[in-house]
Amino acid sequence: MVVEKLSNTIDLHRELKSLGVDSGGVSILEDKGQLHLIRIRDLHVGAANILKQDALSIGADLAVPRGTVTASSARVDVLLIATERQLQTLAKKEKAQPFGLKALSAELESFCHHTREENISIMGILNANDDSFYHASRFQGVKAIERIETMIEEGADMIDLGGVSSRPGSIAVSAEEELSRVRPIIDALYEQRLYEKTTLSLDSYEPLVICYALERGFRIVNDITGLANDEVARLCGSYGATAVIMHMQGKPENMQENPSYSSVIGDVELFFRERIAKAESFGIKEIILDCGIGFGKRLDDNLSLITHQRHFLRLGKKLLVGASRKSMIDAISPSMSDDRLAGTLAIHLKAIEEGASIVRVHDVKEHTQAIKLWKALRG
């Protein structure tokens, strides 16, 4: 007999199949192997006591504050601990319960039946402006095309071209100035038909620039304002473009001036829901969500959004994380942007582990290698 303790992060589906478990058994056991930790804030104390007993009755549990049984506080924060199968069962049980538990049952159901996206995509960054925070991402003319071709060879699935810096404190430029910066690169990409080799994305929120790019082979609009402009939404819908909806509190010039949230995860989700509804009303079919690391966020906000990416899977969209060489790394491990590759890889691999399926990066080759190793380590 040989006994081995396995990691909770292995590909359980693959492990069960390798044992020869039948397909029905794989489904059941895989559900039992997926653990959910769900924090519920401001729950009626009566609901907490009912939920606790219902959870215990099916083998799950609910962590509650001292004094919950005696209702010493009218409302409490709790932590639900349940497997996938237990969560499904508990959600059904709560449909007939009082104290707001019927509404909670719908919330619990929304976290069920979600699996991590197996295909991880790398979006390579190229800046056509001379004031982006990382100097090595700046290219113009022939050098820009060479850099794009290099990133494709290194494993980039998408290329994100931008002409305006959005670093904290940066000032917007006119649409005409932005277009003058990116037009030569867009034209060269179109003439060389590089849109057939990779998916081209434009990092912009200016309709003039977006329209020019979409007419010349670009298929993604990466909008840091999250479709604030109706015309941008209309263009995405009419051209059948994918929209990246990013969350940002404030504007680049002021977004880091004391940002605050009642609940960063809840606030970002509410924003996403509103902008998804708007996108769909304009006929946009493909939507990617980006929680906006560093865009109006404190360090703790950034860490929470990265480590709890799974929360947003219930919105049914692909998740993008872009923390490449950003200052949150410096806040934890003091360093200049040139020396933040290791920190970038750590953040992005954690985000992928938690459900992100697209990473926006300066260093394509290194991410390609890191993701291959991450997949191999999962088994």
Which residues are designated catalytic?
326, 360
Return the axis-axis angle of helices 364-378 and 141-154, rounded to nearest 10°: 10
The CA distance from 27 to 30, in Å, is 5
Within 10 A of 28 (CB to CB), how many other CB atoms are there?
15
**Cα distances (angstroms) measured from residue 243 to each of 115, 292, 360:** 22, 14, 15
Count of CB atoms within 10 A of residue 300's CB? 11
**Maximum pairwise Cα distance, the chain:** 73
- Contact assessment for residue 47 and residue 104, using Cβ atoms and an 8 Å cutoff: yes
Buried/exposed 115-136: b ≥16 CB within 10 Å, e otherwise: ebeeebbbbbbbbbbeebbbee
Distance CA 94, CA 57 (A): 13
Give the N- to C-terminal CA distance of the chain in Å, as an integer.
22
How many CB atoms sit inside 10 A of residue 287's CB? 20
Query: Identity (one letter) of the amino acid at 351?
Result: A
